[in-house]
Amino acid sequence: MNPDNPDDAVFMRRALDLAHLGTGYARPNPLVGCVVTHQGRIIGEGWHRQHGGPHAEVNALAAVADPALLRHSRVYVTLEPCAHHGKTPPCADLLIEKGVPEVVVCNEDPFALVAGRGIGKLRAAGVRVETGLLADQGRWLNRRFFTFQEKKRPYLVLKWAETADGFLAGRYFQPVQISSPQAGLLTHQWRAEEQAILVGTRTALHDNPRLNVRDWSGPQPTRLVIDKNLCLPPTHHLLDGSQPTLIYTYRQPHHATNLDHIRLSEADDLLPQVLADLHQRQVQSVLVEGGPTVLNALLHAGLWDEIRVFRASRKLGQGIAAPRLGLSGLREKLNVGPDELFWYVNE
Protein backbone atom coordinates (compact mmCIF):
# COMPACT_ATOMS: atom_id res chain seq x y z
CA MET A 1 0.00 0.00 0.00
CA ASN A 2 1.28 3.45 -0.91
CA PRO A 3 1.78 5.47 2.32
CA ASP A 4 0.68 8.57 0.41
CA ASN A 5 -2.70 6.93 -0.17
CA PRO A 6 -3.91 5.65 3.21
CA ASP A 7 -7.36 4.90 1.76
CA ASP A 8 -5.98 2.33 -0.68
CA ALA A 9 -7.22 -0.63 1.38
CA VAL A 10 -10.63 0.98 1.83
CA PHE A 11 -11.09 1.36 -1.91
CA MET A 12 -9.85 -2.15 -2.65
CA ARG A 13 -12.23 -3.61 -0.07
CA ARG A 14 -15.02 -1.77 -1.83
CA ALA A 15 -13.89 -3.29 -5.13
CA LEU A 16 -13.89 -6.77 -3.54
CA ASP A 17 -17.41 -6.20 -2.19
CA LEU A 18 -18.56 -5.18 -5.67
CA ALA A 19 -16.91 -8.21 -7.24
CA HIS A 20 -18.85 -10.52 -4.92
CA LEU A 21 -22.12 -9.29 -6.46
CA GLY A 22 -21.31 -11.30 -9.59
CA THR A 23 -21.33 -14.62 -7.69
CA GLY A 24 -23.10 -17.29 -9.71
CA TYR A 25 -23.50 -15.10 -12.79
CA ALA A 26 -19.97 -14.20 -13.92
CA ARG A 27 -18.77 -17.81 -14.13
CA PRO A 28 -16.75 -19.25 -15.69
CA ASN A 29 -15.15 -15.80 -15.63
CA PRO A 30 -13.66 -14.64 -12.32
CA LEU A 31 -15.34 -12.23 -9.94
CA VAL A 32 -13.99 -8.73 -10.57
CA GLY A 33 -14.82 -5.36 -9.06
CA CYS A 34 -13.43 -1.96 -9.98
CA VAL A 35 -13.40 1.43 -8.26
CA VAL A 36 -12.31 4.71 -9.88
CA THR A 37 -11.17 7.52 -7.56
CA HIS A 38 -10.18 11.13 -8.00
CA GLN A 39 -8.48 13.04 -5.19
CA GLY A 40 -9.53 10.40 -2.65
CA ARG A 41 -13.17 10.29 -3.73
CA ILE A 42 -15.00 7.52 -5.62
CA ILE A 43 -16.22 8.81 -8.98
CA GLY A 44 -17.13 5.49 -10.60
CA GLU A 45 -17.50 1.84 -9.75
CA GLY A 46 -18.65 -1.40 -11.34
CA TRP A 47 -18.35 -5.16 -11.38
CA HIS A 48 -18.51 -8.03 -13.86
CA ARG A 49 -22.23 -8.74 -13.75
CA GLN A 50 -22.50 -11.77 -16.01
CA HIS A 51 -20.51 -13.93 -18.36
CA GLY A 52 -20.32 -12.39 -21.82
CA GLY A 53 -21.20 -8.92 -20.53
CA PRO A 54 -18.93 -5.88 -20.00
CA HIS A 55 -16.05 -6.39 -17.59
CA ALA A 56 -15.78 -4.53 -14.29
CA GLU A 57 -13.40 -1.88 -15.66
CA VAL A 58 -15.76 -1.09 -18.53
CA ASN A 59 -18.70 -0.64 -16.18
CA ALA A 60 -16.70 1.44 -13.69
CA LEU A 61 -15.23 3.81 -16.31
CA ALA A 62 -18.65 4.22 -17.94
CA ALA A 63 -20.07 5.27 -14.55
CA VAL A 64 -17.73 8.29 -14.32
CA ALA A 65 -19.81 11.41 -14.98
CA ASP A 66 -16.88 13.55 -16.14
CA PRO A 67 -14.53 11.47 -18.33
CA ALA A 68 -11.94 14.27 -18.21
CA LEU A 69 -11.21 13.26 -14.61
CA LEU A 70 -9.96 9.85 -15.74
CA ARG A 71 -6.61 11.37 -16.75
CA HIS A 72 -6.11 12.29 -13.09
CA SER A 73 -7.65 9.20 -11.51
CA ARG A 74 -6.55 6.16 -9.56
CA VAL A 75 -8.25 2.88 -10.44
CA TYR A 76 -8.57 -0.12 -8.10
CA VAL A 77 -9.34 -3.51 -9.65
CA THR A 78 -9.49 -6.88 -7.93
CA LEU A 79 -7.89 -8.85 -10.79
CA GLU A 80 -5.33 -7.96 -13.42
CA PRO A 81 -7.02 -6.24 -16.40
CA CYS A 82 -7.30 -8.58 -19.36
CA ALA A 83 -4.99 -8.15 -22.33
CA HIS A 84 -6.67 -10.39 -24.90
CA HIS A 85 -9.75 -10.28 -27.10
CA GLY A 86 -12.38 -12.66 -25.72
CA LYS A 87 -16.09 -11.90 -25.71
CA THR A 88 -15.07 -8.27 -25.01
CA PRO A 89 -12.02 -6.13 -25.96
CA PRO A 90 -9.01 -5.96 -23.60
CA CYS A 91 -9.59 -3.87 -20.49
CA ALA A 92 -5.90 -2.93 -20.36
CA ASP A 93 -6.33 -1.20 -23.73
CA LEU A 94 -9.39 0.67 -22.46
CA LEU A 95 -7.54 1.99 -19.40
CA ILE A 96 -4.69 3.18 -21.62
CA GLU A 97 -7.09 4.75 -24.09
CA LYS A 98 -8.85 6.69 -21.33
CA GLY A 99 -5.52 7.99 -20.04
CA VAL A 100 -5.75 6.47 -16.56
CA PRO A 101 -2.37 7.19 -14.91
CA GLU A 102 -2.51 4.81 -11.89
CA VAL A 103 -3.92 1.30 -11.44
CA VAL A 104 -3.87 -0.76 -8.23
CA VAL A 105 -4.34 -4.51 -8.72
CA CYS A 106 -5.30 -6.98 -6.00
CA ASN A 107 -4.30 -10.23 -7.78
CA GLU A 108 -2.47 -11.12 -10.96
CA ASP A 109 -4.54 -13.28 -13.30
CA PRO A 110 -3.35 -16.94 -13.60
CA PHE A 111 -5.25 -17.45 -16.88
CA ALA A 112 -2.69 -18.23 -19.58
CA LEU A 113 -3.95 -15.56 -21.99
CA VAL A 114 -3.49 -12.86 -19.34
CA ALA A 115 -0.88 -13.98 -16.73
CA GLY A 116 1.03 -10.71 -16.42
CA ARG A 117 0.35 -9.44 -19.93
CA GLY A 118 -2.27 -6.95 -18.78
CA ILE A 119 0.05 -5.43 -16.20
CA GLY A 120 2.91 -5.46 -18.69
CA LYS A 121 0.84 -3.66 -21.31
CA LEU A 122 -0.20 -0.97 -18.81
CA ARG A 123 3.36 -0.37 -17.64
CA ALA A 124 4.67 -0.26 -21.21
CA ALA A 125 2.16 2.54 -21.86
CA GLY A 126 3.45 4.51 -18.86
CA VAL A 127 0.71 3.60 -16.40
CA ARG A 128 1.89 3.26 -12.81
CA VAL A 129 0.75 -0.17 -11.59
CA GLU A 130 0.82 -1.46 -8.01
CA THR A 131 0.02 -5.10 -7.27
CA GLY A 132 -0.74 -7.34 -4.29
CA LEU A 133 -3.02 -5.08 -2.25
CA LEU A 134 -5.28 -7.37 -0.13
CA ALA A 135 -4.04 -10.31 -2.20
CA ASP A 136 -5.18 -12.97 0.32
CA GLN A 137 -8.73 -11.59 0.35
CA GLY A 138 -8.71 -11.52 -3.43
CA ARG A 139 -7.59 -15.15 -3.70
CA TRP A 140 -10.31 -16.22 -1.28
CA LEU A 141 -12.95 -14.34 -3.28
CA ASN A 142 -11.80 -16.02 -6.51
CA ARG A 143 -10.75 -19.34 -4.97
CA ARG A 144 -12.83 -21.28 -7.48
CA PHE A 145 -11.20 -19.53 -10.43
CA PHE A 146 -7.66 -19.86 -9.05
CA THR A 147 -8.11 -23.57 -8.25
CA PHE A 148 -9.54 -24.26 -11.71
CA GLN A 149 -6.62 -22.48 -13.41
CA GLU A 150 -3.82 -23.77 -11.18
CA LYS A 151 -4.94 -27.32 -10.34
CA LYS A 152 -6.81 -28.01 -13.60
CA ARG A 153 -9.91 -29.26 -11.80
CA PRO A 154 -13.06 -27.79 -10.28
CA TYR A 155 -13.10 -26.34 -6.78
CA LEU A 156 -14.65 -29.04 -4.58
CA VAL A 157 -16.95 -28.25 -1.64
CA LEU A 158 -18.00 -31.32 0.37
CA LYS A 159 -21.20 -30.85 2.34
CA TRP A 160 -23.28 -33.11 4.54
CA ALA A 161 -25.49 -33.13 7.65
CA GLU A 162 -24.88 -35.57 10.48
CA THR A 163 -26.55 -36.47 13.72
CA ALA A 164 -24.97 -35.92 17.11
CA ASP A 165 -23.93 -39.59 17.12
CA GLY A 166 -22.36 -39.43 13.66
CA PHE A 167 -24.92 -40.74 11.15
CA LEU A 168 -26.07 -39.17 7.91
CA ALA A 169 -28.89 -41.59 7.01
CA GLY A 170 -30.93 -44.33 8.60
CA ARG A 171 -30.34 -48.06 8.17
CA TYR A 172 -30.27 -49.22 4.54
CA PHE A 173 -29.87 -45.56 3.47
CA GLN A 174 -33.35 -44.63 4.63
CA PRO A 175 -33.66 -40.82 4.26
CA VAL A 176 -33.88 -38.99 7.58
CA GLN A 177 -34.42 -35.28 8.14
CA ILE A 178 -31.37 -34.26 10.11
CA SER A 179 -30.65 -30.55 9.66
CA SER A 180 -32.91 -27.60 10.42
CA PRO A 181 -34.87 -25.35 8.02
CA GLN A 182 -32.20 -22.69 8.57
CA ALA A 183 -29.52 -25.11 7.40
CA GLY A 184 -31.69 -26.00 4.41
CA LEU A 185 -31.98 -22.35 3.42
CA LEU A 186 -28.21 -21.92 3.63
CA THR A 187 -27.74 -25.04 1.49
CA HIS A 188 -29.89 -23.52 -1.24
CA GLN A 189 -27.76 -20.37 -1.13
CA TRP A 190 -24.67 -22.55 -1.58
CA ARG A 191 -26.28 -24.33 -4.51
CA ALA A 192 -26.75 -20.99 -6.24
CA GLU A 193 -23.10 -20.13 -5.65
CA GLU A 194 -21.59 -23.28 -7.17
CA GLN A 195 -21.66 -24.25 -10.82
CA ALA A 196 -22.60 -27.91 -10.29
CA ILE A 197 -23.85 -30.39 -7.66
CA LEU A 198 -22.61 -33.98 -7.45
CA VAL A 199 -24.24 -37.07 -5.93
CA GLY A 200 -23.63 -40.79 -6.21
CA THR A 201 -25.96 -43.63 -7.12
CA ARG A 202 -27.29 -44.41 -3.63
CA THR A 203 -28.12 -40.80 -2.80
CA ALA A 204 -29.84 -40.40 -6.16
CA LEU A 205 -31.83 -43.63 -5.67
CA HIS A 206 -32.83 -43.35 -2.03
CA ASP A 207 -33.25 -39.59 -1.62
CA ASN A 208 -34.63 -38.85 -5.12
CA PRO A 209 -33.26 -35.29 -4.83
CA ARG A 210 -34.04 -32.41 -7.18
CA LEU A 211 -30.66 -30.72 -6.60
CA ASN A 212 -32.02 -27.33 -7.59
CA VAL A 213 -32.26 -23.87 -6.04
CA ARG A 214 -35.73 -23.39 -4.58
CA ASP A 215 -35.47 -21.18 -1.50
CA TRP A 216 -32.89 -18.70 -2.76
CA SER A 217 -32.48 -16.40 -5.74
CA GLY A 218 -29.75 -17.52 -8.11
CA PRO A 219 -28.86 -19.59 -11.17
CA GLN A 220 -29.63 -23.28 -11.29
CA PRO A 221 -26.54 -25.52 -11.08
CA THR A 222 -25.69 -28.37 -13.42
CA ARG A 223 -26.61 -31.68 -11.78
CA LEU A 224 -23.95 -34.41 -11.75
CA VAL A 225 -24.72 -38.05 -10.98
CA ILE A 226 -22.30 -40.96 -10.76
CA ASP A 227 -24.46 -43.90 -11.87
CA LYS A 228 -22.00 -46.53 -13.04
CA ASN A 229 -24.59 -49.11 -14.05
CA LEU A 230 -27.51 -46.78 -14.92
CA CYS A 231 -29.63 -47.88 -11.97
CA LEU A 232 -31.60 -44.65 -11.70
CA PRO A 233 -35.23 -45.13 -12.83
CA PRO A 234 -36.63 -42.64 -15.37
CA THR A 235 -39.25 -41.48 -12.89
CA HIS A 236 -36.65 -39.87 -10.62
CA HIS A 237 -36.29 -36.09 -10.48
CA LEU A 238 -32.70 -36.07 -11.73
CA LEU A 239 -33.85 -37.40 -15.11
CA ASP A 240 -36.76 -34.97 -15.57
CA GLY A 241 -34.88 -32.67 -17.96
CA SER A 242 -35.69 -29.58 -15.88
CA GLN A 243 -32.06 -28.44 -15.76
CA PRO A 244 -28.75 -29.55 -17.31
CA THR A 245 -27.72 -32.95 -15.92
CA LEU A 246 -24.66 -35.12 -16.55
CA ILE A 247 -24.72 -38.85 -15.79
CA TYR A 248 -21.31 -40.54 -15.43
CA THR A 249 -21.55 -44.24 -16.26
CA TYR A 250 -19.74 -47.35 -17.45
CA ARG A 251 -22.65 -48.22 -19.76
CA GLN A 252 -23.50 -47.15 -23.28
CA PRO A 253 -24.27 -43.42 -23.14
CA HIS A 254 -27.39 -41.83 -24.58
CA HIS A 255 -28.75 -38.31 -24.67
CA ALA A 256 -32.03 -36.55 -24.07
CA THR A 257 -33.16 -32.98 -23.49
CA ASN A 258 -30.92 -31.37 -20.86
CA LEU A 259 -29.44 -34.80 -20.12
CA ASP A 260 -26.08 -36.21 -21.19
CA HIS A 261 -24.52 -39.56 -20.33
CA ILE A 262 -20.72 -39.62 -20.22
CA ARG A 263 -19.13 -43.03 -20.53
CA LEU A 264 -16.16 -43.69 -18.26
CA SER A 265 -13.39 -46.25 -18.59
CA GLU A 266 -13.61 -49.08 -16.08
CA ALA A 267 -9.84 -49.53 -16.36
CA ASP A 268 -9.08 -46.16 -14.78
CA ASP A 269 -9.97 -44.50 -11.48
CA LEU A 270 -13.43 -42.99 -11.69
CA LEU A 271 -13.01 -39.68 -9.91
CA PRO A 272 -10.05 -38.35 -11.96
CA GLN A 273 -12.07 -39.10 -15.11
CA VAL A 274 -15.05 -37.15 -13.80
CA LEU A 275 -12.92 -34.19 -12.73
CA ALA A 276 -11.05 -34.15 -16.06
CA ASP A 277 -14.34 -34.10 -17.96
CA LEU A 278 -15.67 -31.26 -15.79
CA HIS A 279 -12.48 -29.26 -16.34
CA GLN A 280 -12.88 -29.70 -20.08
CA ARG A 281 -16.48 -28.47 -19.78
CA GLN A 282 -15.29 -25.34 -17.93
CA VAL A 283 -17.10 -26.33 -14.71
CA GLN A 284 -15.18 -24.40 -12.07
CA SER A 285 -16.84 -25.53 -8.86
CA VAL A 286 -18.81 -28.48 -7.54
CA LEU A 287 -20.89 -28.81 -4.38
CA VAL A 288 -20.71 -32.49 -3.39
CA GLU A 289 -23.91 -33.58 -1.63
CA GLY A 290 -23.29 -37.30 -2.09
CA GLY A 291 -23.34 -40.11 0.43
CA PRO A 292 -20.41 -41.74 2.25
CA THR A 293 -19.03 -43.56 -0.81
CA VAL A 294 -18.44 -40.41 -2.84
CA LEU A 295 -17.47 -38.29 0.15
CA ASN A 296 -14.97 -40.79 1.54
CA ALA A 297 -13.44 -41.40 -1.88
CA LEU A 298 -12.78 -37.68 -2.33
CA LEU A 299 -11.48 -37.35 1.23
CA HIS A 300 -9.10 -40.29 0.91
CA ALA A 301 -7.79 -38.94 -2.40
CA GLY A 302 -7.29 -35.47 -0.90
CA LEU A 303 -9.62 -34.08 -3.56
CA TRP A 304 -11.42 -31.38 -1.62
CA ASP A 305 -11.07 -27.67 -0.99
CA GLU A 306 -13.78 -27.03 1.58
CA ILE A 307 -15.85 -29.20 3.90
CA ARG A 308 -19.08 -27.88 5.40
CA VAL A 309 -20.74 -30.12 7.98
CA PHE A 310 -24.02 -29.46 9.77
CA ARG A 311 -24.16 -31.27 13.08
CA ALA A 312 -27.60 -31.62 14.64
CA SER A 313 -28.56 -32.47 18.21
CA ARG A 314 -30.71 -35.40 17.07
CA LYS A 315 -29.41 -38.96 17.59
CA LEU A 316 -30.26 -42.04 15.52
CA GLY A 317 -28.47 -44.80 17.43
CA GLN A 318 -27.79 -46.67 14.20
CA GLY A 319 -27.60 -45.97 10.49
CA ILE A 320 -25.13 -45.00 7.77
CA ALA A 321 -22.03 -43.45 9.31
CA ALA A 322 -20.88 -40.01 8.26
CA PRO A 323 -17.24 -39.55 7.22
CA ARG A 324 -14.87 -39.29 10.14
CA LEU A 325 -12.76 -36.15 10.12
CA GLY A 326 -9.47 -35.72 11.92
CA LEU A 327 -8.63 -32.43 10.27
CA SER A 328 -6.98 -29.15 10.98
CA GLY A 329 -7.99 -26.16 8.92
CA LEU A 330 -11.25 -25.33 10.72
CA ARG A 331 -12.14 -21.94 9.26
CA GLU A 332 -15.31 -21.31 11.23
CA LYS A 333 -17.70 -22.89 13.68
CA LEU A 334 -21.12 -21.29 13.53
CA ASN A 335 -24.59 -21.79 14.93
CA VAL A 336 -27.17 -22.16 12.16
CA GLY A 337 -30.53 -22.35 13.88
CA PRO A 338 -30.29 -25.30 16.31
CA ASP A 339 -27.44 -26.86 14.31
CA GLU A 340 -23.69 -26.34 14.39
CA LEU A 341 -21.82 -25.68 11.16
CA PHE A 342 -18.20 -26.82 10.95
CA TRP A 343 -16.41 -25.21 7.98
CA TYR A 344 -13.00 -26.56 6.97
CA VAL A 345 -10.59 -25.28 4.34
CA ASN A 346 -7.87 -27.46 2.78
CA GLU A 347 -4.79 -25.29 3.22
For the annotated catalytic residues, the residue numbers are: 57
Name the residue among 245, 229, 239 with its Cα closest to residue 283.
245
240 Cβ contact list (under 8 Å, min separation 6)? none
| 217 HSE (CA, 13 A, CB side) | 2
Helices vs. strands in the chain: H and E counts, helices first: 10, 17
Instruction: Find the radius of gyration of the CA atoms of the chain.
Output: 23
Q: What is the DSSP string of 275-342?
A: HHHHHHTT--EEEE---HHHHHHHHHTT--SEEEEEE-S---SSSEEPPP-----EEEEEEETTEEEE
Helix/strand/coil for 223: strand
Residue 64 main-chain phi, psi, to 5 deg: -75, 120
CA distance linking residue 345 with residue 328, whole number of Å: 8
In which element (H, E) is residue 113 found? none
CA distance linking residue 191 with residue 171, whole number of Å: 27
Give burial (CB, 10 Å; 0-12/13-18/19+) of 297.
Answer: middle
Count of residues making up the chain: 347
CA distance linking residue 107 with residue 78, whole number of Å: 6
CA distance linking residue 135 with residue 245, whole number of Å: 36
